[in-house]
Structure 1
Amino acid sequence: MPLPEGPYARRTARVLLMDKEDRLLLFKFGSRRRNHVWLTPGGGIDEGEAVNVAAARELREETGLVVTPEQLGEVVATTGGYAELGSWIKGNIREDFFFHRVDSLNIDSSGFTDYERKAIAEIRWWSVADLESTAENVVPWGLVPLLKSLLRDGPPANFVELPWHH
């Protein structure tokens, strides 16, 4: 299914952050409306903000890792579609993903918003094997094949369109 056309009710910049042991960093978000969901670092793009600038900002706020937008490279994957998230969001959403490697990282969550402090139940590094075998709700869909491709071949020449997860 092709990505929805803009304008978007919400557009996000996210980072697939992997360490030298090929583990992916994910945040476990809680919700009263549904079960927990594991998400990559990232969040909303501010008005007039470039997607790579937003990704670098979100990475700093949520993990303490400081990178330049240029260090993130190009978007490696994207997903999007229609979602109704209560009174918060209703409409087309688009998520753009960057891929970045670190040797290791001590997570600094001091930049979390009040909402993130309340909603994030756990922070965890996941191996690809753990992601393949988990029954947990992890998004985006298509994450494991994407990670295997990125680890094997590096960033793609053109971004990968992942299935929408709502």
Structure 2
Amino acid sequence: MTAAQARPTGESEYLDEGWLRGPDGMRTRHAARVLLMDSGGRTLLVRGHDGDEPTRSWWFTVGGGIDAGETPRQAAVREVREETGIVLSPDQLEGPVLTRSAIFDFAREHCLQHEEFFLARVSPQENELTRAGWTELEVSFIDEMAWMSPAQLRAAPQEVFPHSLPDLLDELAHGWDGVVRVIGVERDD
């Protein structure tokens, strides 16, 4: 039996077992995201699209779901390594600097993702980016990675998530003040 045959009717082929159904029926998971910032205030961001709506694309941060038994910091470090090839240790992460709960549509489903954002200062010159750790899903919807300044992000024609990301990056460029920003629930549509 293939995974598609085992999947209940109406279940997305894109959302893995880390996405659980909440009491309201919405697919839900916890995630760790990382703001990888260089000394010039640029942040490594990812541009992707929904396979079911390829004309819509957006910029977002590196990161993903927290696996069973992982702490958010462990997940953040793992996700950075898998998605970029950059190897960090948990003690290189500052924060969490931001939390939010994002409601968005992906693969024809409404999803709720509870996110913790960490900050890590890195040098692009010392870290060659690689796609070697990408899953089939990531290969299918990630279009590019780019080091962007807040001004470049504001000028980009694509959507940006979280919506206040350029302002947050401006605030963090000169250091984190120890305050965890809380967005609460944000709709990414």
TM bucket (normalised to shorter chain) is 0.7 to 0.9
Gapped regions of structure 1 (runs ≥ 5): 1-5
Cα distance change of structure 1 residues 115 and 50 upon mapping to structure 2, 3 Å threshold: same
Matched, 1:67 2:96: no
- Indicate the residue corresponding to 2:118 in structure 1: 98
Identify if the C-alpha distance between structure 1 residues 123 and 92 changes in structure 2 by more than 3 Å, giving closer, same or farther.
closer
1:108 alignment partner, one of 121, 126, 130: 130
3-state SS of 1:155 partner: coil
Partner SS, residue 53 of structure 1: helix
Q: What letter is aligned with 2:46?
A: F
CA RMSD of aligned residues (A): 2.2
| Counterpart among 118, 132, 142 of residue 120 in structure 1 | 142
Residue 70 of structure 2 corresponds to residue 49 of structure 1? yes
2:41 touches 2:169 (CA, 8 Å); kept in 1?
A: no
Moved over 3 A (4+): 81-88
State the alpha-carbon separation in 1 of the partners of residues 140 and 91 from structure 2: 31
| Count of residues in Structure 1 that have an aligned counterpart in Structure 2 | 159
Q: Aligned partners of 2:37, 2:58: CA distance in 1, in Å?
A: 19
Higher strand proportion: 2
Gaps of at least 5 residues in structure 2 are 1-21
In the TM superposition, what whole-angstrom CA distance separates every residue of 1:85-135 from its partner, at most 9, and x where no partner exists?
4565x4542111111111223201101111111111111111121112222
Q: Relative contact order (C-alpha < 8 Å, sep 6+): which is higher?
A: 1
* Aligned equivalent of 2:183: 162
Q: Is the 8 A contact 1:141 1:162 kept in 2?
A: no
Identity %: 36
1:142 aligns with 2:164: yes
Match of 2:4? none
Rg larger for: 2
CA distance in 2, matches of 1:39, 1:84: 14
Q: Partner letter of residue 27 of structure 1?
A: V
Structure 1 residue 18 displacement after superposition: 1.3
Task: Find the counterpart in structure 2 of residue 3 from structure 1.
Answer: none
Q: Does 1:21 align with 2:40?
A: yes
Residue 40 of structure 1 aligns to a residue in which SS? strand
Secondary structure at the counterpart of residue 124 of structure 1: strand
Q: TM-score, normalised by structure 1?
A: 0.85
Cα distance in 1 between the residues matched to 2:182 and 2:85: 28
**What amino acid sits opposite 1:115 in the alignment?**
L
